[in-house]
Structure 1
């Protein structure tokens, strides 16, 4: 009887840990637009000019591209996002959403219209959103710091 109780307890702990850990290690991103998009992260907040563009797009485009009207797991942190936020220089992770076709056609030489959205996310923001983001931003993202602001269109 004791062995059975111990096994049941171990199973409950393992199952509960796996579900909980998945939320802390992966960000899911929903592309609710007719455009294919490219999503990348940068932890150098508040400096929005110095992110490592070529490293992200040139070698890793398949990892962070999301087809129109689909959902993908786009950002992973092996040690989890709580640990990640403890290591970054500020308390903010920037997530950039780019027009993938414009990037493929023009590279990083294109003007700023290739940037569709930028989210400035605290750990609390990610937790409240259940580690799920979307473009365009969903209603439950309206309080997240973003450019353009919630409900506004990107500059053309």
Structure 2
């Protein structure tokens, strides 16, 4: 028994050291939402599991659980598969991201927000857009986002 444990440990090191990709480290693919504004905002993103997907850009019937971001805060959306695979499963090659004013999101009825489309911005980003942004999505839009689908336009 005393000889088996060291042999197993040495074997484990040999296996993990001989691979290009470490089998003990899980890879995540991340989109980072960055609030560069001076205000607190709410953020909502649609993916392949959302009831609504681009090209439908309506807001959901029920008020969603959105994420609040303070000034300078970041929110990380991690996936175990590359975003290209995620986007391939969508009806279009585009993911929608919504940004809401904190006071509007918290103090208004959702039906009012939905019916009057009370959003700060909506980004409809393709895989190429995400790659050009290095998967870092800032709010408010930055100069490098010129030409990307942003509503309402500036």
Tell me, yes or no, whether TM beats 0.5.
yes
Is the CA contact (8 Å cut-off) linking 2:16 and 2:22 kept in structure 1?
no
Aligned residue number for residue 149 of structure 2: 145
- Find out whether 1:29 has 2:37 as its counterpart: no
Change (3 A) 1:145 1:76: same
2:37·2:71 contact (CA, 8 Å) conserved in 1? yes
- Which of 134, 138, 146 is equivalent to 1:134? 138
Unaligned runs of 5+ in 1: none
Name the CA distance, whole Å, in 1 between partners of 2:137 and 2:41.
13
Helix, strand or coil at the partner of 2:22:
helix
Give 1 or 2: higher helix fraction: 1
1:84 paired to 2:86: yes
Residue 98 (1) aligns with residue 87 (2): no
How big is each residue's C-alpha offset from its partner over 1:54-86, in whole Å with a ceiling of 9 and x where there is no partner? 252xxx33xx2111222221x343434222112
What stretches of structure 2 of length at least 5 have no aligned partner? 1-10, 48-52
- 1:35 partner SS: coil
1:14 positional shift: 2.6
* Greater Rg by CA: 2
Q: How does 1:1-156 map to 2 (within 5 A)?
A: 7-10=16-19, 12-14=20-22, 21-22=27-28, 24=29, 26-42=30-46, 44-49=53-58, 51-52=59-60, 54=62, 56=64, 60-61=65-66, 64-73=67-76, 75-108=77-110, 109-110=112-113, 112=116, 114-149=118-153, 152=154
